[in-house]
Amino acid sequence: MATVYPGDHATLAGEPFALQEYYASCHANGSLTLLFLPISRHSQNILHSPAHAASISIWSDRPAASRPRVSLMGNVTVFPDLSRTPDLASIQACYIAHHPDARWWLPGPREPHVAYWARFDPHSVYFVGGFGDEHYIGYIPLEMYQAALSGDDQGLSVAGRVLVDQADYDIQ
């Protein structure tokens, strides 16, 4: 995930901050579920961003220059009231299925730190299919990403979405 330090930060105002974060593809439209801990630097940056902006880079099983990867740019919606978290039971089950070790940090009365559920909603998708002379590199329409089938049991996928054959779409 990448975020930006707020403008009033004492030494790093406006600087990018990037660090791998857990996410899970738990939404039919391609939005991602996040475990939001206000103690984390990313969470602090998101809360200070007027648009709650973030970017998440996602790659295939084995990162390599020849393998597909995607950068999702979007915003984060935080659900500080556990009882108002949409689809709470299914979100929690999905997230734990992807990250069993996260059970210790789930929102609720037993967490070691304050934690909330959050949803990352992409508004832009930049795709790198591999090498540029052999694979598509560029933005893809958000609607195409959102309409892609879930990739749980369906071969090659990135960000939980089945990769489509670019020849089937005009994605100039």
Please check whether residue 55 is in contact with residue 2, taking contact to mean a CB–CB distance below 8 angstroms. yes
From first to last of the 172 residues of the chain, give the pLDDT tens digit: 999 999 999 999 999 999 999 999 999 888 999 999 999 999 999 999 999 999 999 876 677 777 888 999 999 999 999 999 999 999 999 999 999 999 988 998 876 789 999 999 999 999 888 877 788 899 999 998 888 766 554 444 555 554 444 444 444 4
For residue 139, give both structure tokens: 């933005």
For residue 132, give both structure tokens: 């540029």
